[in-house]
Amino acid sequence: MIVLVAVLVAVLALAAWIVRVAGWRFALQRLGGSLLIVVLVTFATTVLLRQVGVDQSQKDTLVELGLPPSSQPCVASLGTGADVATVEKCVEDRGLDKNVFAQYAGWVSDLLHGDLGYAFYKNKEPLTTTLQQRLPRTAWLFLYSQITALVLAVPLGIWAAYQAGRKPRRVPRWIFPLVLLAMLGVAFSVGWGFAAVMFGAILLPIVVYNTYRGGPPGDTTVNTTAFVLLSIPVFVLGESLRYLFAIKRDWYQLTGYKPWSAGVTAHIGSIWLPALVLGLAATPVYLRLLRADMMQNLQQDYVAVAKAKGMSNTHILIRHVLRPSTVTLLTVAGLNIAQLVNGAIVVEFIYDFDGMGSYLIEAVARREFFAVQTIVALVAILFVAANTIVDLLYTVVDPRVRATVSS
């Protein structure tokens, strides 16, 4: 309860601040737009839900059982063993016997009353309980992964952008065969281990690209590594690190999430690897964007002015260039929440991490359509809300936007 009040107060404070900075009209306009999107998305999930397996043969089976064809989602969710009465009750509960608008209205009204429904398979455990239990885990995972990503991407991005302005130097070509030889040596001495294969698959393109690109080495290396990292699918990365840290070594135990109350080491120990994987997946996106933006801003006249004022490079990079460059980063961080959700589904599956992502996969596997629909809708709401906040924060970061908005 206290947490809820605290969150509410924080949200209200944020809203008040944004309204003060950006003005009512702008804030309302954005909120209205977001609300429309939320309504359309959730409505779309309701429509989609009614499409569950409605081919003719299944309809015929239902009619034989004396059930309306629209009860298919219930039948699928309850399993084929359910008796007719249970199915009928489910159909009535979920409003499947009504038209789609009535069904949607019912769903919204339930939602506003705090009733998110339940999944059948866990003794009808209400979804709110599940959320209470699992949402914090995923939230921690998100938080840690974003911290990891920003801690890696921001300094490296700044550094790379700074290096990019320096004289281009070509990495000598003889390094290429040398690294190849060294890698072959490693491979032969350690054995054709798969870690070595992965190592090679990552390093080789870096070396090749670096050798032939011939830009400023610091920038090229960082940028190329980011490019390569970007091309590794999250699940391949996740499995590789699981192999390295949880199977070959026992640095990470696949024992599931432990809360803060279990102690800091236990908590971090139970979450660091999935967070690292998610973080590494987001890092190259942030890094390349920040680098590109910073490079563009470093060309601006005010940078020359600051240099002429005798300000140090660090001062210029951090105090002058970073802030205008974070505008895009901020938007992308907002949009990237979607990517994060995608990643969380995969990563939680890989590491048996019992958060929302793995719950979703479970629910899908058990054909719990109603639970899945609600989760999809909730994620969409969260996502739109986050992006609206980011949109409004924009005005706070960049005073010029504020000016155009308020005028």
Dihedral of the alpha carbons of 283, 286, 289, 295, in degrees to the nearest 10? -80
Token representation of residue 98: 């009504």
Nearest approach in angstroms of CB 159 to other proteins is: 14
Strand partners, 118: 126
Residue among 33 and 155 whose Cβ is closer to other proteins: 33
Inter-CA distances, 238 with 192, 241, 315, 349, Å: 21, 5, 38, 10
**Of residues 3 and 308, the one with the C-beta less far from other proteins:** 308
Within 340-359, the residues that bind other proteins by CB under 8 A are 340-342, 345-346, 349-350
How far is it, in rounded angstroms, from Cα 45 to Cα 379? Answer: 12
Task: Please identify, among the stretches 77-85, 92-100, 264-272, 295-303, the one whose residues bind other proteins according to the rule CB under 8 A.
Answer: 295-303
Question: What is the contact mask toward other proteins in residues 31 to 70, using x (rule: CB under 8 A)?
Answer: --x--xxx-xx--xx--xx-xxx-----------------
Supply the minimum distance, in Å, between the C-beta of residue 399 and other proteins: 4
Task: Please name the helix (run of DSSP H) or strand (run of DSSP E) that holds residue 108, with its range, or none.
Answer: helix 100-112
| Beta carbon of residue 259, minimum distance to other proteins (angstroms, whole number) | 26
Q: Does 86 interact with other proteins (rule: CB under 8 A)?
A: no
Q: Which stretch binds other proteins (CB under 8 A): 5-13, 63-71, 99-107, 209-217?
A: 209-217
* Closer by beta carbon to other proteins, 92 or else 352: 352
305 contacts other proteins (rule: CB under 8 A): yes
Degrees, nearest 5: CA angle 22-26-31:
115
CA–chain centroid gap for 93, Å, is: 33
- Residue 139 contacts other proteins per CB under 8 A: no
Question: Least distance from C-beta 138 to other proteins, angstroms?
Answer: 13
Residues in region 176-205 near other proteins by CB under 8 A: 192, 194, 197-198, 201, 205
End-to-end, the C-alpha distance of the chain in Å comes to 41
Asked if residue 365 lies in contact with residue 322, where contact means CB atoms within 8 angstroms, the answer is no
Q: Which residue has tokens 């999944």? A: 119
Task: Report the C-alpha gap between 347 and 350 in whole angstroms.
Answer: 5
Does residue 318 touch other proteins according to CB under 8 A?
A: no
Q: Which is nearer to other proteins, 66 or 310 (CB)?
A: 310
What number of chain residues touch other proteins (CB under 8 A)? 108
Footprint of other proteins on 263-282 (CB under 8 A): none
CA angle, residues 373, 114, 16, in degrees to nearest 5 = 105
User: Which CB, 95 or 216, lies closer to other proteins?
Assistant: 216
Of 78, 275, 285, 371, which one interacts with other proteins (CB under 8 A)? 285
Give me the 374-403 binding string for other proteins, x by CB under 8 A, dash otherwise. -xx--xx--xx--x---------xxxx--x
Backbone angles phi, psi at 303, to 5 degrees: -70, -40
The CB-of-170 to other proteins minimum distance in angstroms stands at 10
Q: What share of the chain is helix, strand, coil (3-state, %, to 5)?
A: 80, 0, 20
User: Does residue number 307 form part of the binding site for other proteins (CB under 8 A)?
Assistant: yes
Nearest to 339 by CA among 390, 385, 282: 282
CB nearer other proteins, residue 124 or residue 249: 249
Rule CB under 8 A: say whether 337 interacts with other proteins. yes
Provide the minimum distance between the beta carbon of 83 and other proteins in the complex, in angstroms, as a whole number: 24
Residue choice 136, 214, 218, 269 for contact with other proteins (CB under 8 A): 214
* Site for other proteins contains 308 (CB under 8 A): yes
CA angle (387, 234, 272) in 5-degree steps: 85
Q: How far apart are CA 374 and CA 244, in angstroms?
A: 36
Report how far residue 159's alpha carbon sits from residue 395's, in angstroms, rounded to the nearest whole number: 27
291 binds other proteins (CB under 8 A): yes
- H-run or E-run covering 56: helix 56-64
Contacts of 341 (CB under 8 A, 6+ apart): 357, 379, 383
Amino acid in position 10: A
Piece in contact with other proteins (CB under 8 A), picked from 62-70, 108-116, 149-157, 225-233: 225-233
The least distance separating other proteins from the CB of residue 104, rounded to whole angstroms, comes to 15
